[in-house]
Amino acid sequence: VRSVEVAGNLFWVGVKDPDLRVFDINVKTDYGTTYNSYLIMGEKKALVDAVKFGFQDDFLSKIEEHTAVEEIDYLIVNHTEPDHSGCIPLLLKKNPKLKLFCSKPALPFLKNVLNDASVQIEGVKTGDRLDLGGLTLEFQSAPFLHWPDTMFTYLVEEKVLFPCDGYASHFSPHDGMFYRPGDQVVDHAAWYYYDCIMRPYAPHCRKATEEALQKEISVCAPSHGPINNSEPKRFMQKYLEWTEVKKLSDKKLIVVAYASSYGNTQRLAEEIAATMQKAEVDVRLFDVAATPESEKRDLLEAADGLVFGAPTFVNDIVKPMWETLLLLPTVSTSGKRAATFGSYGWSGQAPGMMQSFLQSIKIKVYEPLLKARLVPSEEDLQEAATFARGFLEFLQEN
């Protein structure tokens, strides 16, 4: 495979990895992926992003169709994750004069990736420009798409946006490197990529996208999957749709999610939900073992308040509740508040374990938690009502 001309003096020199089936442990890649790198041949020569280690031969031979690596002046590092930074040490070995540009938050990342104090690195911020002689790069900070270090780069004269992992897809085209309008497989791959990788940072994605859409864009050149020159803003506009907060209610929304074998925790959950329903809030009560995963993710993401109830089984939280809690890091949870409760027989660790987990993923949790031994008594139910009212107040505190 050879390099691909993207615009005047701009070439795709990336690599294809069509057989990859899992990316970053968690992400299925049924269509493989690509690691895109771009070579810009101004008076000064620049590369935007490198590729994963292991693909260096393919990468270097594509670059060498246009220039010797020793002749490249700059490397723009939009993101320091190894799928884009893995070959930087090799580039530096061939060309120690290569100067790197990255976002300011990326500086410590790059230091810890390269472990080489002799490398020239400059931190840049939104609006900073790099003159290549006849061509100009402009940078945009885009933190948390999907690491704190990420930024976008824009080639001003050709109106090309390099958003790195933004608007990307894990899809390795059989031939060519361009998006074909109406390609539903790529459309789905772009959604799946957003859903797996970007969704926890939805507010950040939205902000960066709104900012980038201010620019005229004739090519969107991400670092995975096809380059879009026919509908360059397609996936940027999709990100505006996907990041929109799905309002399920005009009032504050509280989700009461429970697991229960003999109805004891369920009884507490019902009392909590019934008490909350008397206030000006919307309450959704559901059994975690009987609710589909995608519905749970949407509910958890839309909720302002999250109340989790689980019995203790063998000193543990039951599996469907763990599986539900583990959905939280896959969606945007900023600003949410939680509470935990459960029925138990003797040791009763589950509510405390849920509380610790929630706190460790930076969700504020209401205290005290609520525990009731075996079948909830009248007194336990009154405590559940007090717990519910306490949580409502906790939710009002800013």
Ligand X SMILES: Cc1cc2nc3c(=O)[nH]c(=O)nc-3n(C[C@H](O)[C@H](O)[C@H](O)COP(=O)(O)O)c2cc1C
Given the rule CB under 6 A, which residues bind ligand X? 260-266, 311-315, 343-348, 374
Of the candidates 93, 159, 152, 88, which has an alpha carbon nearest to the alpha carbon of residue 125? 152
The region of 162-170, 232-240, 289-297, 327-335 touching Fe ion under the rule CB under 5 A is 162-170
Residue 347 binding: pick among ligand X, Fe ion, none (C-beta 5-8 Å cut-off by kind): ligand X
Q: Residue 89 or 352: which CB sits closer to Fe ion?
A: 89
Residue showing the smallest CB distance to Fe ion in the complex: 81
**Distance (Å, rounded) from C-alpha 309 to C-alpha 351?**
7
For residue 207, CA distances in Å to 213, 224, 242 come to 10, 21, 13
* Cβ-proximal residues to 294 (8 Å cutoff; 6+ apart), any chain: none
**Distance (Å, rounded) from C-alpha 215 to C-alpha 96?**
34
Q: Supply the minimum distance, in Å, between the C-beta of residue 164 and Fe ion.
A: 7
Contact between 165 and Fe ion per CB under 5 A? yes
Q: How many residues bind Fe ion (CB under 5 A)?
A: 3
Residue 360 binding: pick among Fe ion, ligand X, none (C-beta 5-8 Å cut-off by kind): none
Q: Residue 220 or 307: which CB sits closer to ligand X?
A: 307
Q: Residue 265 or 332: which CB sits closer to ligand X?
A: 265
For residue 317, CA distances in Å to 272, 293, 310, 354, 357 come to 20, 18, 6, 8, 11
Q: Supply the minimum distance, in Å, between the C-beta of residue 370 and ligand X.
A: 13
Binding mask 67-96 for Fe ion (x = CB under 5 A): --------------x-x-------------
Residue 80 binding: pick among ligand X, Fe ion, none (C-beta 5-8 Å cut-off by kind): none
The secondary structure of 103-126 as a DSSP string is ETTHHHHHHHHH--TTSEEEEE-T
Q: Supply the minimum distance, in Å, between the C-beta of residue 261 and ligand X.
A: 3
Alpha helix (H) ranges present in the chain?
56-64, 82-85, 88-94, 106-114, 184-193, 202-212, 234-242, 264-277, 293-302, 319-325, 350-360, 378-396
Q: Supply the minimum distance, in Å, between the C-beta of residue 338 and Fe ion.
A: 28
Q: Residue 242 or 357: which CB sits closer to ligand X?
A: 357
Q: Supply the minimum distance, in Å, between the C-beta of residue 323 and ligand X.
A: 16
**Distance (Å, rounded) from C-alpha 259 to C-alpha 266?**
7
Cβ-contact 316, 353 below 8 angstroms: yes
Residue 81 binding: pick among Fe ion, ligand X, none (C-beta 5-8 Å cut-off by kind): Fe ion
Q: Residue 171 or 344: which CB sits closer to ligand X?
A: 344
Calculate the dihedral angle through the C-alpha atoms of 329, 330, 335, 336, rounding to the nearest 10 degrees.
-80
Residue 374 binding: pick among ligand X, Fe ion, none (C-beta 5-8 Å cut-off by kind): ligand X
Q: Supply the minimum distance, in Å, between the C-beta of residue 383 and ligand X.
A: 15
Q: Residue 214 or 346: which CB sits closer to ligand X?
A: 346
Q: How many CA atoms lie within 13 A of 12 on its CB side?
A: 27
Residue 33 binding: pick among ligand X, Fe ion, none (C-beta 5-8 Å cut-off by kind): none
Q: Residue 261 or 386: which CB sits closer to ligand X?
A: 261
Cβ-contact 275, 384 below 8 angstroms: yes
Reduce the DSSP state of residue 202 to 3 states and report it. helix
Binding residues (CB under 5 A) for Fe ion: these are 81, 83, 165
